[in-house]
Amino acid sequence: MLKGLIFDLDGVLTDSAKFHLAAWNNLAQELGINLTSAQLDSLRGISRMDSLNLILHYGNQEDKYTSEQKDKFAEQKNEKFLQQVQTMTPQDILPGISDLLRDAQDAGLKMCIASASKNAPKILNKLGIADQFDDIVDPATLHRGKPDPEIYVKAQELLGLATDEVISFEDAAAGVEAIKAAGQFAVGIGNRQLLKQADYIVTTTKELKLDEIMAVFAKGPEESR
């Protein structure tokens, strides 16, 4: 029986992902690294330091900088990202999400945020929806990033629910992989081929309907595919 929903943040509840990617692309260019669209897209859903290390890998610069220099680069990126966050308002909630959250509350479902972003609380407050969530996974408590399932296991534990009592939402392939590795039902938002591991897929958040998702969830992961 469904009792809770777990959400990634960037690209699921709001398009703050575009701010992240723009800030990373700016940093990469400063380091003399020109990222392709595919390489930039691969940064979705993973932690700050994992993103930086991947960028350095793309530029063959993995061993060029010290840990202290990497920390400084990550902080520079975050400062640029936060400048954009300050401009966010409830108007930046993605289409269909407000209705989904309201329907979930009406159904008595618990809700948790499972985002690698350390800025999740700030973003939720800017969007005006922080009070709709029962908990937020603190990335600082995690040891491994997506596609490792740790963050989704942690979110489930925070809600006090079992694996078969939650549905998790993601827009990144690494995130969907993490959800499935945690043994949870995955809703993918975006490219169907990239998110083919998900149990239920929509192209945009506007297509998310809680009753339809719950109907598929009730059939079980194997039947829903």
DSSP H or E run through 185: strand 185-189
- Is residue 171 part of the annotated active site? The answer reads no
DSSP H or E run through 170: strand 166-170
Sheet of 4-7, strands arranged across: 135-136, 110-113, 4-7, 166-170, 185-189, 200-202
Describe the crossing of helices 67-85 and 120-127 by its angle, rounded to 10 degrees: 0
- Is residue 134 part of the annotated active site? The answer reads no
Cα distances (Å, whole numbers) of residue 204 to 99, 130, 186 = 14, 22, 15
Burial class (CB in 10 A: 0-12, 13-18, 19+), 77: buried
DSSP string, 53-98: HHHHHHTT-TTSS-HHHHHHHHHHHHHHHHHHHTT--GGGBPTTHH
Residue among 10, 41, 171, 199 flagged as catalytic: 10
Active site (catalytic) residues? 8, 10
